[in-house]
Amino acid sequence: MSPLLPVPLPLAPLAWLTGLRRVPDNSVVTVHRFGRFVRALGPGWRWTLPGLDQLGQPVCLIGHHLEIPGESGTQAELYYQILDPAQAGEALDRVDALVTDQARDALASLPAANDDAPTLAETLKAELNRRLGRMGLRVIRCALHPA
């Protein structure tokens, strides 16, 4: 048995107390200090100020899927990803609600549904990317389904 093997065990609580935190791969975590958003932590081992920084829940950067019912009976199915967590900032803690609100507004502004659903889906995708692009988000797939 190696004499260095027992050394990391006593150091683990010390690392925790010093603010060393691990953010899972393909995820981001928001950091709040005194209740205000400070920054977003990317994947890997990160150091935070113990006692001052509070971490939010990890948010996956890819693979978000939402189904949004429209007012006219049309349902939108969206897949989106977070491209730039720093741009999204404080919105990361409620990113699904933000995309849902933007999609409902965009659905309401679409022309009346006709037989050309793929074109309407592309129009919705382009409009959502225009609205969400400045927040570091991108819709990668969009489909409209009649109710």
128 vs 87: CA distance, rounded Å: 16
Residue with tokens 């006593």: 10
Helix (H, G, I), strand (E, B) or coil at 142: strand
27 vs 12: CA distance, rounded Å: 23
> What is this structure's pTM?
0.80
105 vs 123: CA distance, rounded Å: 13
Query: 3-state secondary structure string, 57-96?
Result: CCEECCCEEEEEECCCCEEEEEEEEECCHHHHHHHHHHHH
Write the pLDDT tens digit of every residue in 91-100.
999 999 999 9
CB of 139 closer than 8 Å to CB of 81: no
- Confidence class of residue 110 from pLDDT cuts 50, 70 and 90? confident
Mean pLDDT of 61-82: 89
Strands 137-146 and 74-82: antiparallel
Query: What percent of the chain is modeled with pLDDT above 90?
Result: 58
Average pLDDT value over all residues in the chain: 86
* Torsion sign (Cα): 119, 124, 129, 134: positive
